[in-house]
Structure 1
Amino acid sequence: MGNTDYVYPSENVERTHRVEIPPPQPFIKTFLYTLKETFFPDDPLRQFKNQPASRRFILGLQYFLPFLEWAPRYTLNFFKSDLIAGITIASLAIPQGISYAKLANLPPILGLYSSFVPPLVYALMGSSRDLAVGTVAVASLLTASMLGNEVDANENPTLYLHLAFTATFFAGVFEASLGLLRLGFIVDFLSHATIVGFMAGAATVVCLQQLKGILGLEHFTHGTDVVSVLRSVFSQTHEWRWESGVLGCCFLLFLLITRYFSKKRPKFFWISAMAPLTSVILGSLVVYLTHAEKHGVEVIGHLKKGLNPLSITDLVLAPPHLTTAIKTGIITGIISLAEGIAVGRSFSMFKNYHIDGNKEMIAFGMMNIAGSFTSCYLTTGPFSRSAVNYNAGCKTAVSNIVMAITVMFTLLFLTPLFHYTPLVVLSAIIISAMLGLVDYEAAMHLWKVDKFDFIVCMSAYVGVVFGSVEIGLVIAVAISLLRVLLFVARPRTFVLGNLPNSMIYRNVEQYQNAHSVPGILILEIDAPIYFANSNYLRERITRWIDEEEDRIKSSGETSLQYVVLDMTAVGNIDTSGISMVDEVKKIIERRGLQLVLVNPGGEVMKKLNKSELIEKIGQQWIHLTVAEAVGACNFLLHSCKPNPSKDESSGTWNNV
């Protein structure tokens, strides 16, 4: 683009800065660059550059099997720490696994199976040192809710079990596919506010459903909403068992006290971690010694010994239940991914190391695929178990291997000891764990910082509690997407003013001492210009001009001559946006005004040039900074004016 000159009273002064058009690039090069930035922002191939073939092969193996990277540096001191951490989280994983399997309406033994195979797979493929793998309450509740709408777990337990394996398989395929195809950004649509509300709502529903175990009820609603649960509870007051209620409240109080103590004294974290297993042992002893199972206290009953049986032949891959299994797998897979990756990233920040989100997705996917073949249901990285793992001083993923081996010994030798474990203790364990998911402090923070995020949070909570888990999730995601669309369709525009004694221009609403420049309206567009917002921007710019002219008439100031559009924040523009700029130019010219553009980005300049809009506007009306544009306009206001018969070849203005 050529230089733009201005004619001063006695001399020509060349403009110092100009906005340049980037050199043209081949379409394929631009397309590949955009593709790389969209799907490969972390540039995973950079480590393979300038490496021999043998080294690239090793790096490729390390990418998909991260344990090959840290295993050669593993030391005995690391093992001591991982051994303690692994045994500690196993003491939590065993009772939680049994409890969450019951929550999913699955045989309790599946909770132990799911704490054996998936942790082994994750230890080989996961990139987090602190994540402890296992079943989670929210995914268990989703499984029970979505599969329960299709098949009754009591009437047809075999089909229900097979559908659970199938849903786990499709969850794993979905998770691994997201990682391999670099589509992890899909999970980002679950905003922080959505997760806070959804988790709190799910925790509330889970706690309410545990009233069945606490009160010793045999018949209970299949609905998850609060109305159905409370109606079921209070319509069976004659069925309440005081023995079960007293036992459940005592153990719940014990669990809450140990959690409070460990929270106040972090060095004693192991007290809270051991409390669930201690509750199981004490509860089993109480039932065994008092024969409470004969007085309304339900027990787990027989758990068969032995390791995970294969279930690959049990997958349901044909209609009419295939659609339900796929839908359940995708939804539970998304939720478990969001929770697992968020937990892993949180602890990695504490220890100052990086985890690869796409690697984590592949690891989660492969461990769930392997789990579906070995009688496991959905697993991820739960916060409670990972927090215990972190506090116990784990160094690597070997703590998951230690936990899995501990669970293996339990499956081989100790399962008969759980025969007398009361279900009410499992309910107390679930309630105590779920109370930690109701993060009211985070909700209050949302209210303080961003009211719209608070609305998203509460929508998710209300949808889960009064509707269903799926309804709450859909409502929250829909509102979050609506907000994104509103940001795109209604971008912010500001009037800029000059800060006294400076060349700086800022939003006049934010900076009260910023004053407008006589005869010049300066507007800033704070978003890319697309088809979704081009009409709005045209109307908004026109309205700004109307308001400025009305203000000038009422105040008697210098009449408006120039409209300056600061396009610094306009990173891109499409054909609808280009048409909008052209229409704005015509509207401004019909009013006898001049359009001035400031600092259009490289992509914007390329498209303005290709559409020949730069020639229509005139290169002399495109400036690098607002200060430069205002200076040029001020000079023309006070000493000369534009002449439409400008000599295009010289790029000069005739003096008036």
Structure 2
Amino acid sequence: MSEDGGERQVSTGLVAARFRGYRVIPGLTKRNIARETMAGITLVTISIPLNIGYAQIAGLPPIAGLYALIIPTVLYALVVSSRQLVASPDAAAAALVASSIGGLAVSGDDYAAMAMAQAVICGVVLLLMSVFRLGFLANYLSEPILTGFVGGLALDILVSQTAKMAGVHLEPGDEFVGKLGGLITGLPDANGWSVLIAGVSLIVLLAWRTRLPRVPWALIVLVGATVIVAAAHLDDHGVSVLGEVPGGPPIFTWPSLSVAQWLALVPSAIALAMVTTVEGLLVSRSYAEKHGYEVSADRDLAAFGVGNVAAGFTGGFSVGSSTSRTAAMDQAASRTQLPSFVLAVVTLVLLLFGTGLLTSIPSPAIGAIVAVAVVPLLGIGKFARLWRVERFEFSIAAVCFATTIFVGSIAGIVVAFVLAVVNIARRASNPAVDVLHADESDPTPGKRFTAADKTITAPGLIVLRPAAPLFFANADTVVRSAKASIAAAEKPVKHLVFDLEAVTDVDVTAAEALERLRDWLAANDITLGFSRLREAVGPRLRTLGVLKESDRVFASNREAASELRTEE
């Protein structure tokens, strides 16, 4: 079987093998295997520095970030439907881990175990969402909500990384205000060597990445800074370094916690699952549409679930989608998951034979790399655009941002969902309700009524067309529109017909509102009819008692006008 423009699949056992009915690496061919392998090397150069930094953001040893790149990455790549989405601990997940666990853990051992347990719970939640096909929930966090929430997390990270670049110590577990205060008060005592290393690192990262985007500048900065610090023994002059990183492959570990501790992690794990769901599925869908392949939201959720469970049982922490790394792979023309396998293999080799190379990595350089990666997540451009085009949605983003910064990440995600519901209800509660009149100038059979023609051609007839499902949030609005149109008619109204072409569902509350409208119409000697019912809506209306045996049902609005005109 051939794919990708008819190219024959690589005939190696790995590529030809099947996993639950699909190829292990869909899209991999003889022609692109070299390109995909080089993209994997690029992914290595990006991921190892970032994951060391994100582990530190999460309050965990660097090894936790590296462990998350091995077994979780392999299992994720085997299950996921997306050919490009990269899974890894990211800035938002790291900040969520730190803010949610910091107040719960009472010791270093407890902290690491709780991070692993949190990943396991997050994975189970994602797997359950996949089983129950809840991928559609990704649509309930709008872009403004996600912009505000992720922007708040990014600012919190940026403050902590600025302190790292300046050599200023911050108390672990501090919230944003405490971190900002610690940074400001600590700046007079900043370490000059740390500031110099961070400054040079930022210049290299920012000045050259746009000119030569495919060069692994993060790795170059990390290696260069490490060589300088080791050669000049700058760690003796106050420059913080990574220190000894234990070697060896990841091993199976069960988080040893009490039942109460496991339960305390559930809210934050759900928050992590929600962020992973929204960001991961949106990014997966966007790249699939861009390059013309199919993805399954529920299978992608299962992949994230498997990856998180594996991370929790192998000494890592929560895994989510990495927008920046996915974009980098897209720029490298990668269209398969082979880079993820390359990343896992190289990271394992590093842990087996090269951890000594990590000892003298300076923290200011890590801080600079993470800061450059995090700045786009602030969403400054998105906030500016929202301010220009939609002030209400800007307000939603700003509230999510402020809540995340000043109250906490868990409160931020709760507020995000509340605002999502409010926004949906606000929009749904005021649907368009067209007042339609027959247009006699067009003899086309079945011609719809047009609002442009203000002449009621069937005596005393008004046709209303609600442009949304009828449910509790908009039922009263539709009823008020009906009464207002009758009151505003130039001639006495004798017939009201609901055009239900755009109505896909009716709930109990809407049915009761329509019953009250029926009583009001009867009291005013106005008949009620229906036209253009959808096939599934008619039985629903009968079950709810809205559509009665005596009611007139018309195939079209023109038929309604013709019959009612004849009767008159």
Would you call these one fold, judging by a TM-score over 0.5?
A: yes
For 1:282, give the aligned amino acid.
G
Residue 348 of structure 2 corresponds to residue 408 of structure 1 = yes
Distance 1:536 1:138, change over 3 A: same
Residue 26 of structure 2 corresponds to residue 84 of structure 1 = no
Q: Distance in 2 between matches of 1:88 and 1:158?
A: 34
Name which of 308, 318, 336 aligns with 1:368: 308
Q: How much identity, in percent, do the aligned residues show?
A: 23
Aligned to 2:134: 183
Alignment of 1:362-511 (within 5 A): 362-447=302-387, 449-497=389-437, 501-502=441-442, 508=451
Given the two structures, how large is their TM-score scaled by the length of structure 2?
0.89
Q: What's the CA shift string for 1:460-489, capped at 9, x where partnerless?
A: 222223332222222222111112233444
Distance 1:585 1:218, change over 3 A: closer
Aligned to 1:258: 208
- Contact 2:449–2:557, Cα closer than 8 Å, also in 1: no
Q: What's the CA shift string for 1:151-185, capped at 9, x where partnerless?
A: 25xxx111100001100111111111211222222
- Number of paired residues? 547
Q: Distance in 2 between matches of 1:414 and 1:233?
A: 34
Aligned-residue offset at 1:334: 2.0
Q: What's the CA shift string for 1:315-348, capped at 9, x where partnerless?
A: 42x2331122222222112212322222222222
Distance 1:132 1:425, change over 3 A: same
Residue 564 of structure 2 corresponds to residue 633 of structure 1 = yes
Q: What's the CA shift string for 1:180-213, capped at 9, x where partnerless?
A: 2222223332222222222222212211221220
- Contact 1:78–1:396, Cα closer than 8 Å, also in 2: no
For 1:520, give the aligned amino acid.
L
Distance 1:101 1:625, change over 3 A: same
Name which of 505, 524, 532 aligns with 1:599: 532
Name which of 203, 226, 246 aligns with 1:284: 226
Aligned to 2:101: 147
Which deviates the most, 600-609 or 372-381?
600-609
Q: Distance in 2 between matches of 1:137 and 1:322?
A: 24
SS in 2 for 1:596: strand
Aligned to 2:461: 520
Distance 1:438 1:531, change over 3 A: closer
SS in 2 for 1:563: strand
Which deviates the most, 516-525 or 347-356?
516-525
Aligned to 1:121: 75
- Contact 2:438–2:561, Cα closer than 8 Å, also in 1: no
Listed as ranges, the gaps of 5+ residues in structure 1 are: 1-60, 262-267, 553-557, 641-656
Distance 1:497 1:196, change over 3 A: farther
Q: Distance in 2 between matches of 1:370 and 1:315?
A: 16
Residue 214 of structure 2 corresponds to residue 270 of structure 1 = yes
- Contact 1:113–1:375, Cα closer than 8 Å, also in 2: yes
Q: Distance in 1 between matches of 2:20 and 2:271?
A: 25
Aligned to 1:159: 110
For 1:517, give the aligned amino acid.
I
- Contact 1:209–1:224, Cα closer than 8 Å, also in 2: no
SS in 2 for 1:376: coil
- Looking at CA atoms only, which structure, 1 or 2, has the larger radius of gyration? 1
Q: Distance in 1 between matches of 2:403 and 2:281?
A: 24
Q: Distance in 2 between matches of 1:579 and 1:342?
A: 38
SS in 1 for 2:69: coil
Q: Distance in 2 between matches of 1:484 and 1:594?
A: 33
Aligned-residue offset at 1:617: 4.6
Aligned-residue offset at 1:105: 0.4
Name which of 549, 552, 559 aligns with 2:492: 559
Aligned-residue offset at 1:410: 1.1
Aligned to 2:13: none
For 1:131, give the aligned amino acid.
L
Distance 1:473 1:296, change over 3 A: same
Aligned-residue offset at 1:571: 1.8
For 1:195, give the aligned amino acid.
L
Q: Distance in 2 between matches of 1:354 and 1:493?
A: 37
Alignment of 1:106-117 (within 5 A): 106-117=60-71
Distance 1:597 1:189, change over 3 A: same
Aligned to 2:246: 304
Q: Distance in 1 between matches of 2:24 and 2:233?
A: 52
Q: Distance in 2 between matches of 1:182 and 1:347?
A: 21
Aligned-residue offset at 1:506: 6.4
Aligned to 2:171: 220
Listed as ranges, the gaps of 5+ residues in structure 2 are: 1-16
- Contact 1:90–1:403, Cα closer than 8 Å, also in 2: yes
Given the two structures, how large is their TM-score scaled by the length of structure 1?
0.78
Aligned to 1:246: 196
Name which of 518, 526, 529 aligns with 2:470: 529
Aligned-residue offset at 1:604: 3.2
Q: Distance in 2 between matches of 1:482 and 1:144?
A: 29
Q: Distance in 2 between matches of 1:335 and 1:613?
A: 41
Aligned-residue offset at 1:490: 4.3
SS in 1 for 2:213: helix
Aligned-residue offset at 1:454: 3.0
Q: Distance in 2 between matches of 1:75 and 1:563?
A: 64
Aligned to 2:47: 93
For 1:223, give the aligned amino acid.
D
For 1:564, give the aligned amino acid.
V
Distance 1:561 1:459, change over 3 A: same
